[in-house]
Structure 1
Amino acid sequence: MLSSSASRTQMNSLLNPKLPSRISLFQLKFLSSLAVAENPSFFPIENDQIPSRFDPFQFFNVYAKSRQCTARITKIVHTHLTTTGLLQSDIFLSNSLLDLYCKSAAMVDALKLFDLIADRNFFSWNIMISGYNHISLFDMAWEMFCRMHTSGFGPDEFAYGSVLSACTALQAPIFGKQVYSLAIKNGFFPNGYVQSGMIDLFAKNCSFEDALRVFHDVSCQNVVSWNAIISGAVRNGENRVALHLFRKMFRGFLLPNSFTFSSVLTACAALEEIEVGKEVQGLVIKRGAEDVFVGTTIVDLYAKCGEMNEAVKEFKRMPTRNVVSWTAIISGFVHKDDYISALKFFGEMRKVGEQMNKYTVTSVLTACTRPSMTEEATQIHSLILKSGFFSAAVVGSALINAYSKIGAVDLSEMVFREMENIKDLRTWAAIISSFAQNQNSGRAIELFLRMLQESVRPDKFCTSSVLSIVDCLNLGRQIHSYTLKSGLVFDVSVGSSLFTMYSKCDSLEESYKVFQQIPDKDNVSWASMIAGFVEHGCADQALQLYREIPLEEIVPDQMTLTAILTACSALRSLRTGKEIHCHALRRGVEQDVLGGAIVTMYSKCNALSLARRVFDMLPQMDEVACSSLVSGCAQNGYVEEALQLFHEMLMADMTIDSFTISSILGAIALLNGLSIGTQLHAHITKVGFNSHVSVGSSLVTMYSKCASIEDCLKAFDQIEKPDLVCWTAMIVSYAQHGKGAEALQAYELLREQGIRPDSVTFVALLSACSHNGLVEEAYFYFSSMVQDYGLKPGDRHYACMVDLLSRSGRLKEAATFINNMPIKPDALIWGTLHAACKVHGDMELGKLVANKMMELEPSMDPGAYVSISNMYADAGQWEEVIKIRNQIKGTDMRKEPGWSFV
């Protein structure tokens, strides 16, 4: 062991400022080894006194290793060295004192000392640059490097590495490129520290392609550079590239370390490449490189691949676990929706005394998002307050989201108010999303406007959340103006929310304009716009839009294919639907993923055999596909098949939606099967669908067609909040059963509820008047339809009025009404009046009506000619009968012969 004086002599000679510009890593290690003193005991300095036999070399060596550097003790030593004159004569002591100041974060004192050092060397500059980096004063590190360069000192590899780290933290790639150019000029191009620093800078701040270019500039056998490029690939989502680089590194006989394995395992987890991950784990075991970090990434790999049993085994096998390990296993259970296990492991983590971090807290809060877990969420909330994590914006946002999903919006708002002084965009986005998810559009919009008033610029998350619930076109346009001003309109999520808002507000033209202006459309955008066209009855435009997708080099996904299949269903376009089906198969889209949409398309196109074939090929019974097939069979008259499939769904304990039940009820109504209908009504009541509006309407119609008006009324009374369809169904039922007064009373109740009637409602109302001879009432409602609601009467409304007047014997009035109609009367309207003339024996008017019907010969059916012929036969006018029969023979029309079972 060298003595202190010998050590000092060698240090002075080795640290001479006239050293060559580059010092090898081996030399640096040799330098540090010479600083070991004879007696490495540590002498604490108390009462600001220096021991009489104080060896500064021994002190610096031991004190620096003790990690107890404080500015006060450093200043005491500084004073002593200045007083004794040692500081000015020994550069090693100056640099050691400078290093202690930096380690104690006293950079102001360090700079003062640095400026006093006359013979600075590379270590002096490097200590200052690293010191500024250590306390995150990266701009000062950059300035110090610039001073070093302008002072004539050629930076060494450590200076380049430190300043590149500072440029990375400053997000200043331009500065980094200047440093890299200088390093290349001074011959440090192949150095591992310089290369890895530049790779890291590009990977974090520029583009991964630039980082790859730097990596391939020179063949490198330095594991640090390989680690930098592999971790950079993972950070930029280039996980396949990371695995390729790892294989290349391994083939080059360069041994990976624990940092390499951690990055590669993270890539495997992101890609869910469990088999590759197991191979890497085998290498870890073989190399003996498993530490707490690698063990954590192995746990995370199994968790993200859904193999929680293996994840738990690996977790329990770890000799040492840290908070990241615990968070990984908890997050894995949350991802698998196993909130019980997630909370169990969190409890074990608390028992062993492991301190949680904000990511642990957010994972546990995600596990407490079920309506039944209000108590657990409030307990975690209390723990957050106790542990001091409430000041973290990410934790506050997670807490707001948890309460929102539980349905406790009032608690979400309470948390938001308590974060008054620490709000950031994440908390604003969380509370606005909370109100939006719970359909409280008023509060969401109010908070959005408040953000603008407080000069907080809403980001894409806030803006998208608000747009998702805006149903006012004027307000939507104002938010659109904000997105244009802020530049958010070019974000794909904001753009999609914008055109969806316009579509929801029935402004399809503006919706399509916004869609066209989105620069980088994704599958969600395409699917949403296609769905918007379908919802507004423009399925043909939806198909045209779908044909434009290949031009954008977008591969349609499940969502887009489902939307276009819906368009095919709306158009009843079987050929196009088959093309989409084939396209999905070629793309490798699993048939069970699109099963429901494909079955629906074939069902709506009346291709029930194809629908059944696709249904039978599904790996398991799909609820959507089952419902679609049941509805298709019911709507196409295959009632028995619909009932059989519906029974299979019940036996399989599948969830049955209101649409399926409504379709089955419609089929039962066609069968006039009251007994089956009452059985189904009992099941509907059992599952709680009896108060549902669509099911209630179908029940009303079913009982009405089965001639049970009392049960019809009972079914209507069970509906919680009847809508227009329900009220109209009830009015139709009353009309069909000759209860005109009750039908009119139901209409008045509808108006009292503030429900606006439509044209179908007035058809039902006029039909009720017609069946009950309520002429004056019919005139009143016919006039009200136009004057009060601005509805234009159609063929069915005029037919009801003619039928009413004809039934009431007011034949001439009916004829006058027809002649004054603003639309051309068809054969049905004239036929209604002609039948009434026959009933009431008005031959003169009957002849006139017959002539009118003759004029509409192309649109007449054989039954109308037969009706006219019979009327002439009843009057004994056989010449006219022969004339009519000859007219029938002279056309392509053919009278179907009558037949009877009797």
Structure 2
Amino acid sequence: MHSLGFEPNEITYGSVLSACTAFQVPIFGKQVYSLAMKNGFFSNGYVRAGMIDLFSKNCSFEDALRVFHDVFCENVVCWNAIISGAVKNGENRVALDLFHEMCCGSFLPNSYTFSSILGACAALEELDVGKGVQGWVIKCGAGDVFVETAIVDLYAKCGLMGEAVEEFLQMPIRNVVSWTTVISGFVQTDDSTCALKFFKDMRELGVEINNYTVTSVVTACAKLAMIEEAIQVHSWILKAGFYSDAAVGAALINMYSKIGEFDLSMLVFKDVGSLKNPVVWVAMISASAQNQNPGEALEIFRKMLQESLRLDKFCISSLLSVIGCLNLGRQIHCYTLKTGLVSDVSVGSALLTTYSKSGSLEESHKVFEQILERDNVSWASMIAGFAEHGCADQAIKLFGEMLLEEIVPDQMTLTATLTACSALRSLQKGKEIHGYALRIGVGKDVVVGGALVTMYSKCGTLELAKSVFDMLPQKDQVARSSLISGYAQNGYIEKALMLFFDMLMADLAIDSFTVSSVLGAIALLNRSDIGTQMHALIAKMGLDSDISVGSSLVTMYSKCGSIEECRKAFDQIEKPDLIGWTAMIVSYAQHGKGTEALRLYDLMRKEGIKPDSVTFVGVLSACSHNGLVEEAYIHLNSMAKDHGIEPGYRHYACMIDLLGRSGRLKEAESFINDIPIKPDALVWGTLLAACKVHGDIELGKLAAKKVMELEPCDAGAYVSFSNICADVGQWEEVLKIRSLMKGTGVKKEPGWSFV
């Protein structure tokens, strides 16, 4: 038409732009739009609406906004296009702002506007705004089946299923979308019974059923207690002819996986995997990962590549979210580089999270820097990765960079940054972030509030922690547990126990983190009677096999002196992790049962658990109690050689203690002189204690001198050296040491006893 010299009009341009949208060719659309502007259709609403729609549907919402704001819009079609585009791109706040701007002008919204803006209210759970829009709909008489369905969806998304059903029953005309909205709402509120009842009514009335309805019903059956209903729905799907739909097949795979029937997931995959749809294959990968079968997940991924199935950004993100294998993550990373998906924000965020979870922070940060347009999720994921893997200072630095780029952090980002402040015990930074959270209106958010309580507790500022806790409109488990933990760790044992007692009296849910915090408080209190009562409550709640609770029980009984109960608590743990094994090894060592500690260490290694530095403190301490000098040297050398752990002061102090107990004081002195780090007061103090036992006054004098240089206010060093001199009758030296203590202002704390 163009080459023949016919002049296109606004209808022509609008239709061609719609074709560009359908074929997802924004480059050609830009050329058409340029021609339209050149030919004088720059301000035409129909043409501009087509271009806005093109950009919105091709993930270029900023360009869509630019087109919209180029000229003052006098056409409701343009307003509808930009508001609808904002909702489809997840920019729901922008949609509300545009709607407000539209209403302040001389433009009246129509049913298309109302259905879009109600969708934004539903996504944001802005019930009050949504009710206002509903009132306007009633006043204008603009309610059609689409608007009324959007109102039902609003109430459903806000968890008000009673109101949603009431609106649904008042609809004069109901279509498959409105029925599916109600069923989906019941699924989201975990009411599977009502979801299935509405599905039954829908079938009895002969209403059309589509694949969205079916996937919602299948999701409703994804519960352990609903295996019979799941099989019945599966049979109906076969009969109704939905089995060949990829989304339905994926939902069935996921359903059987969640109810613990992985074999049935595999059977469904064998039936529908031939569809060659990536959604089905990714669902099977997810099911394999959820059922602790990473090998199967890797095999399916390889088959996908062999079948030349192209994974889109949604499939890649889903795949990365369920894998825990670094090797597989790297392979997928290579695939994203090859296909150009690595710069997509959702793929990049999933990739950097995978690397962070595996402890590969350098690779994680490289991926982060490759993301072209970072959103809150990517920033929060990277900050959380740094915070959780011992790089809290980098996390806070990254948060500063985020603010410099004028990106407003959300609750997830603030929580991750506060976690970093907690790790650094940085009260000043924590207060600054608290102030920022209050300024942007999320200071009283439940999640942020819990993180603030934790931060103030870790920094030892219990008054501020309690103030934040008291101001929270909703006090969840995290906030309560954080405050209990803060009280316990800072010596306010009674307050910790009283807060826990209040939780019990209020019949609030108690999780393993709360229980572990309380057990820590009881251990510090050294009250085995309260510990036994707590253990009984834990058994009643069914938490005694939990890893964190079991480990805390081990430590509590150890601190209370009951090593037999300590071992019983350890044996109750279903699958001990490194912390649990280490707690038991250290407990044995502290109670002088070195043989048992070393035997348990060997058993831990056979279970494939890799030791950490704390484990080796227990192992070396066990060697010390048993006088196993040569074996201790073997374990010390094994730390760096076999496990990549550099020994620290506590490990060297254990070795000095062992050599001292064995009377090998000269060897201990040589050992101190040979260690690669500068000996601290702990190392020299351990040697000083050994010198006192064996009466080595010369070496004791050297050790005491070193301790006094490193910690001049340590009264123990003065007293120990004074006692050594007294034991050999050097009373003049004793008087000199006492005089030196007075001159430096060091005072010996008086001894006391419960007896």
Q: For 2:258, give the aligned amino acid.
A: K
Instruction: Say if 2:96 is the partner of 1:240.
Output: yes
Distance change (3 Å), C-alpha of 1:462 and 1:736: same
The answer (yes or no) to whether the contact 2:528–2:560 under 8 Å persists in 1 is yes
**3-state SS in 2 of match to 1:389:** coil
Q: What's 1:562 paired with?
A: 415
Q: Structure 2: how far apart are the matches of 1:170 and 1:360?
A: 27
Q: For 1:892, give the aligned amino acid.
A: T
Instruction: Say if 2:586 is the partner of 1:732.
Output: yes
Deviation at 1:177, TM superposition (A): 7.1
**3-state SS in 1 of match to 2:510:** coil
Q: Structure 2: how far apart are the matches of 1:874 and 1:198?
A: 95
Q: Structure 1: how far apart are the matches of 2:697 and 2:717?
A: 13
Instruction: Say if 2:442 is the partner of 1:589.
Output: yes
Instruction: Say if 2:526 is the partner of 1:672.
Output: yes
The answer (yes or no) to whether the contact 2:96–2:117 under 8 Å persists in 1 is no
Deviation at 1:210, TM superposition (A): 7.5
Show the 5 A alignment for 1:652-663.
652-663=506-517
* Greater mean deviation of Cα atoms: 430-439 or 484-493: 430-439
Distance change (3 Å), C-alpha of 1:587 and 1:834: closer
Q: For 1:854, give the aligned amino acid.
A: K
Deviation at 1:710, TM superposition (A): 2.2
Q: For 2:560, give the aligned amino acid.
A: C
Distance change (3 Å), C-alpha of 1:883 and 1:549: same
Instruction: Say if 2:701 is the partner of 1:850.
Output: yes
Q: What's 1:895 paired with?
A: 747
**3-state SS in 1 of match to 2:507:** coil
Q: For 1:430, give the aligned amino acid.
A: A
Higher relative contact order (CA 8 A, sep 6+): 2
CA offsets per residue over residues 421-443 of structure 1, 9 Å max, x none? 42323223333333334443222
Deviation at 1:640, TM superposition (A): 0.9
Q: Structure 2: how far apart are the matches of 1:407 and 1:738?
A: 45
Show the 5 A alignment for 1:540-555.
540-555=393-408
* Greater mean deviation of Cα atoms: 418-427 or 187-196: 187-196
CA offsets per residue over residues 49-92 of structure 1, 9 Å max, x none? xxxxxxxxxxxxxxxxxxxxxxxxxxxxxxxxxxxxxxxxxxxx
CA offsets per residue over residues 449-504 of structure 1, 9 Å max, x none? 22222222222233234434555555443432221221111011211222223333
Q: For 1:548, give the aligned amino acid.
A: E
Q: What's 2:200 paired with?
A: 347
Q: Structure 2: how far apart are the matches of 1:416 and 1:753?
A: 34
Q: Structure 2: how far apart are the matches of 1:335 and 1:245?
A: 33
Q: Structure 2: how far apart are the matches of 1:441 and 1:393?
A: 23
Q: For 2:579, give the aligned amino acid.
A: V
State the TM-score, normalizing by the size of structure 2: 0.86
**3-state SS in 1 of match to 2:744:** coil
CA offsets per residue over residues 301-334 of structure 1, 9 Å max, x none? 4434544333322322233322233223223333
CA offsets per residue over residues 842-883 of structure 1, 9 Å max, x none? 5xx423431453365412534333333343344333443444
CA offsets per residue over residues 770-820 of structure 1, 9 Å max, x none? 334455655665566676656554433443344344444455555565566
Q: Structure 1: how far apart are the matches of 2:315 and 2:518?
A: 43
Q: Structure 1: how far apart are the matches of 2:606 and 2:30?
A: 74
Q: Structure 2: how far apart are the matches of 1:794 and 1:210?
A: 59
The answer (yes or no) to whether the contact 1:830–1:849 under 8 Å persists in 2 is no
Instruction: Say if 2:646 is the partner of 1:795.
Output: no
Deviation at 1:551, TM superposition (A): 2.1
* Greater mean deviation of Cα atoms: 666-675 or 731-740: 731-740
Deviation at 1:745, TM superposition (A): 3.3
Show the 5 A alignment for 1:431-830.
431-468=284-321, 473-593=326-446, 594-774=448-628, 778=632, 781=635, 792-811=646-665, 814=668, 825=679, 828-830=682-684
Distance change (3 Å), C-alpha of 1:261 and 1:583: closer
Q: Structure 1: how far apart are the matches of 2:31 and 2:283?
A: 39
The answer (yes or no) to whether the contact 1:773–1:804 under 8 Å persists in 2 is yes
Q: Structure 1: how far apart are the matches of 2:367 and 2:343?
A: 10
Distance change (3 Å), C-alpha of 1:829 and 1:486: closer
The answer (yes or no) to whether the contact 2:84–2:95 under 8 Å persists in 1 is no
Q: Decide which of 182, 205, 210 is 1:357's aligned counterpart.
A: 210
Gaps in structure 2 of 5+ consecutive residues: none
Distance change (3 Å), C-alpha of 1:548 and 1:621: same
The answer (yes or no) to whether the contact 1:167–1:176 under 8 Å persists in 2 is no
**3-state SS in 2 of match to 1:355:** coil
**3-state SS in 2 of match to 1:691:** coil
Show the 5 A alignment for 1:119-130.
none
**3-state SS in 2 of match to 1:391:** coil
Distance change (3 Å), C-alpha of 1:286 and 1:647: closer
Aligned-residue Cα RMSD (Å) equals 4.0
Deviation at 1:410, TM superposition (A): 3.0
Q: For 1:739, give the aligned amino acid.
A: K
Deviation at 1:215, TM superposition (A): 9.0
Deviation at 1:597, TM superposition (A): 0.5
Q: For 2:430, give the aligned amino acid.
A: G
**3-state SS in 2 of match to 1:609:** helix
* Greater mean deviation of Cα atoms: 512-521 or 278-287: 278-287
Q: Decide which of 342, 366, 374 is 2:219's aligned counterpart.
A: 366
Q: For 1:895, give the aligned amino acid.
A: K
The answer (yes or no) to whether the contact 2:192–2:221 under 8 Å persists in 1 is yes
Show the 5 A alignment for 1:172-571.
174=28, 208-209=64-65, 212=68, 239-240=95-96, 243=99, 247=103, 251=106, 262=115, 266=119, 269=122, 290-468=143-321, 473-571=326-424
Q: Structure 1: how far apart are the matches of 2:204 and 2:667?
A: 92
Give 1 or 2 for the bigger CA radius of gyration: 1
State the TM-score, normalizing by the size of structure 1: 0.73
Q: Structure 2: how far apart are the matches of 1:751 and 1:202?
A: 58
Distance change (3 Å), C-alpha of 1:714 and 1:872: same
Q: Structure 2: how far apart are the matches of 1:198 and 1:812?
A: 86
**3-state SS in 1 of match to 2:369:** helix
Deviation at 1:691, TM superposition (A): 1.9
Deviation at 1:607, TM superposition (A): 0.4
The answer (yes or no) to whether the contact 1:634–1:642 under 8 Å persists in 2 is yes
The answer (yes or no) to whether the contact 1:239–1:270 under 8 Å persists in 2 is no
Q: For 2:199, give the aligned amino acid.
A: F
Q: Structure 2: how far apart are the matches of 1:494 and 1:462?
A: 9
Q: Structure 2: how far apart are the matches of 1:181 and 1:826?
A: 78
Q: Structure 1: how far apart are the matches of 2:11 and 2:706?
A: 103
Q: Structure 1: how far apart are the matches of 2:44 and 2:386?
A: 60
Show the 5 A alignment for 1:14-25.
none
Q: Structure 2: how far apart are the matches of 1:815 and 1:380?
A: 77
The answer (yes or no) to whether the contact 1:468–1:497 under 8 Å persists in 2 is yes
Q: Structure 1: how far apart are the matches of 2:87 and 2:692?
A: 87
> Identity of paired residues, percent?
65
Q: For 2:479, give the aligned amino acid.
A: A
* Greater mean deviation of Cα atoms: 455-464 or 762-771: 762-771
Q: How many residues align?
A: 744
**3-state SS in 2 of match to 1:533:** helix
Deviation at 1:530, TM superposition (A): 1.1
Q: For 1:725, give the aligned amino acid.
A: I
Q: For 2:186, give the aligned amino acid.
A: F
